[in-house]
Chains A and B, each alone.
Chain A
Amino acid sequence: MEIFTQQLINGLVLGSIYALVALGYTMVYGILGLINFAHGDITMVGALVALTVVQALAAAGVPAPLVLVLAGGCAILVCSLLGLSIERVAYRPLRRAPRLAPLITAIGISILLQYTAALIWGKQYIALPKLLEPAAIDIAGAQLTTLQLAIFVLACGIMALLLWFIKASRMGRAMRATEQNPDVAGLMGVNVDTVIAFTFVVGSAIGAVAGLMVVLYYGIGHYFMGFMLGLKAFTAAVLGGIGNVGGAVLGGLLLGVIESMASGYIGDLTGGVLGSNYRDIFAFLVLVLVLVVKPSGLLGQSGGDRA
C-alpha cells in the first residue's frame, strides 16, 4: 500500500511536468496540424539555461527563491524567443507546403537545437548545485517532498490559468477560431500570423518552466534530455487527444501515474527479471496502444467537423 501511495504521488508530480510539455505539442498541433518535434528540445534549452543561471547565482550567494525566479525568468525569455524565431524562420514559410515538409523541418530543428546545446554546454551531464533542501511530508506512510508539492501546485496553477485563458479571453477565443478555420478567423479581423506566433510563445514559455522543474526534480541536465521528455510529452498529448488542451493535461497526469506505477511494480510482476529502469518502455507501450485502440485519444474529437 505504501508503494501504491508513493508511486501515485511520484506519478502525479512527474505527470504534471509531462502535461506542461504536452500542452506545447497539443497547442501547436491544434492550430497548425504540425507535430513540433523540436518542442522537447526547446524544453531542454529552458532546462539548461535555468541550470546555468542557478550555477552562476548560487555561487554568488544569492538567496534561493530569488535564484529560482531569475532562473525561471531567463528560461522563459530564451525559450519564448526561440519558439518565436523557429515559427517565423522554419515553419511559416512552409505553412502551405505538403504536411511532410514542416514535419521533416521540425526534426531538423530538433537536431539543430541538440547539437547547438552540446556546443554551448558540452555533452556531459550538468549537476544542479545544492540549492534547496526540501522537507518531506508524510502521507499514509508515503513521502511527499515540499519540492514535489511545489512543482505539482505550480504546474496545476499554470494549466488552470491556460485553460481559463483559452476558454474566456478574447485572444483565447481567437486561438480556437483560428484552429477551426483560419480563413474565416481572418475574415473576423484576426491576424492569423500573430495568433500562431503567440501560440508558439506560450507553448515555449510553459516548456521553459517544465525544463526548470525537471532540473530541480532530478538535479541534472543534459543536451539530449529533451528527446525522451519530448517523446513522453508527445505520448501524453496523443493519449489525451492531440489538439485538445484539456486532453494534454489529462494525458500527462495519466502517463506519469502509469509510468510510476509500472516502475514500482515491474520487479514484482516479472519476478525480478525487469527492474524499474525499464520504466521508459511503458510510455511507448501506451503510445502504441492508443494509436491502435483509439487514435483520437481520450478527449479527442474523431474528426469530421474540422473546417
Chain B
Amino acid sequence: MSAPYLLEVCGLEVAYGGIRAVQGVDLAVASGEIVALIGANGAGKTTTLKALSGLLPPKSGSLRYEGADVTGKPAYHLVRKGLSLVPEGRGVFPRLTVAENLAMGAYIRNDRHEIRRDFDRVYALFARLAERREQLAGTLSGGEQQMLAIGRAMMSRPKLLLLDEPSMGLAPLMVQKIFETVRAIAAEGVTLLLVEQNAKLALETCSRGYVMESGRVVLADSAAALLASPQVRRAYLGE
C-alpha cells in the first residue's frame, strides 16, 4: 500500500533551550505537489524545515516520510532517502570550488556515470556556474551561490526538496530566474516544499500553502484561496 502523503508532520514542536520556536505544526505534502510555507520573520519556518531535514531534533510530534516514521533521524540519513534541504542563506562551502560543492551534493551516490550526467544537467541549467566551475564558492555573487545551492541539492537526486527562502536578498531578475528553476525542478517530478518571504510569488508558483505565525500554522488552503484571502492579503501581500 502506498502512503497518501510523501511527508506527514504531526504536532511538531521544536525548541531552542527555553525558546519554543515551533509549537505544534501539522502539515502534509503529497508526492508531486509544490507546497508553500509562508509567514512573517521569526514565525518558525526555518526551524520547521531544519526539523524536517533532521538538523534539529523535534521536542515532540512525529515525522513520517514515505510512510515510515523518521522522527529524530539525522540529516545524513534522510538525504539518503531522497529528502534534501537547500538551507536559508544558501550554505555553500565557501572554500570549495563550484565543482567540489556539486560533488558534495552527490556524496551519497556511487553511480559515476550518472553523476557526470547530472553535473552536465546542472551546468546546462545554470550557465553561470559552468563558467565558474573552478572558482571558490565563497567568491560567487549571492544569486550564483543560490544557483549553486539548488544545483548541489539536485545532485543528490531528491524526491522531496525543501527550499528555505531561495529568493532572499536577490535582485528581481535573479528572483525570476530562481523561480523559473524551481518550476523546472517541479516539472521533473520533484516534490517541493517552499518557504518564502515573497508570499505572492510563492503562492503563484505553488498549488497549496500553509501560513505560519508564532510557531503555529494558522491557515492552510489552496494557493488560489490563500491569495484571495483578506487575511493573507493584508499581512503578506501588503494590501
Answer yes or no: are A and B bound together in one complex.
yes
Listed in ascending order, the chain A residues whose CB lies under 8 Å from chain B are 170, 173-174, 176-177, 180-181, 183-192, 301, 305, 307
Interface size on B, residues (CB 8 A): 25
Q: Are A307 and B76 touching (Cβ within 8 A)?
A: no
Residue B75 interfacial (CB < 8 Å): yes
Min Cβ gap A185→B in Å is 7
Contact string, B177-220, partner A, CB cutoff 8 A, digits 1/0? 00000000000000000000000000000000000000000000
Q: Which B residues from 68 to 115 make CB contacts under 8 A with A?
A: 74-76, 79-80, 84-85, 87, 91, 93-96, 100, 103-105, 107-108
Distance between B87 CB and nearest chain A CB, rounded to angstroms: 6
Task: Name the A residues within 8 Å of B138 (CB-CB).
Answer: 305
Q: How far apart sit A3 and B80, CA to CA, in the bound complex (Å)?
A: 61
State how many angstroms separate the Cβ of B164 from the closest Cβ of chain A: 11
Contact A174 B107 (CB under 8 A): yes
Distance, CA A192 to CA B55, complexed state (A): 12
CB pair B96 A185 closer than 8 Å = no
The reply to whether B107 and A170 form a contact with Cβ atoms under 8 Å apart is yes
Contact B104 A174 (CB under 8 A): yes
- Using Cβ atoms and an 8 Å threshold, which residues of chain B touch A185? 93, 104
Q: List 13 A-B contacts (CB under 8 A).
A: A170-B103, A174-B107, A176-B93, A181-B93, A187-B91, A188-B104, A188-B105, A188-B152, A189-B108, A190-B107, A301-B95, A305-B95, A307-B94
Q: With A189-B76, A189-B80, A191-B76 in contact, do A180 and B95 touch (Cβ < 8 Å)?
A: yes
Residue B104 contacts which of A173, A192, A301, A307 (CB distance < 8 angstroms)? A173
* Contact present for B93 and A187 (CB under 8 Å): no
How far in angstroms is the closest Cβ of chain B from A177? 5
Are B93 and A180 in touch, CB under 8 angstroms? yes
Please tell me if B143 contacts chain A, counting CB pairs below 8 Å. no
Q: Say yes or no for B53: interface residue by CB 8 A criterion.
A: yes
Instruction: For B44, list chain A residues within 8 Å (CB).
Output: none
Q: DSSP majority for the A interface? A: helix
Shortest Cβ distance from residue B222 to the other chain A in the assembled complex, whole angstroms: 30
In the complex, which of the residues B55, B95, B156 contacts A189, with contact meaning CB atoms closer than 8 Å?
B156
Partner of A186 from the list B76, B100, B152 (CB cut-off 8 Å) is B76
Q: Which of A170, A180, A187, A307 contacts B55 (CB 8 A)?
A: A187
- Asked if B79 and A189 make an inter-chain contact with CB atoms under 8 angstroms apart, the answer reads yes
- Nearest to A174 among chain B residues (CB) is B107
Contact between chains at B53 and A187 (CB < 8 Å): yes
Give Cα distance in the complex from A150 to B11, angstroms. 65
Check A187 against B95 for contact (C-beta < 8 Å): no
Digit string of B46-74 for contact with A (CB within 8 Å is 1, else 0)? 00000001110000000000000000001
Report the minimum CB–CB distance from A178 to chain B (whole Å): 9
The listed residue with most A CB atoms (<10 A of its CB), out of B53, B76, B80, is: B76
Residues of the A chain whose Cβ atoms lie less than 8 Å from the Cβ of B87: 183-184, 187
CA distance A189 to B81 in the complex (A): 10
Tell which of A176, A177, A187 touches B79, judged by Cβ atoms closer than 8 Å: A187
Residues of chain A contacted by B93 (CB below 8 angstroms): 176-177, 180-181, 184-185, 307
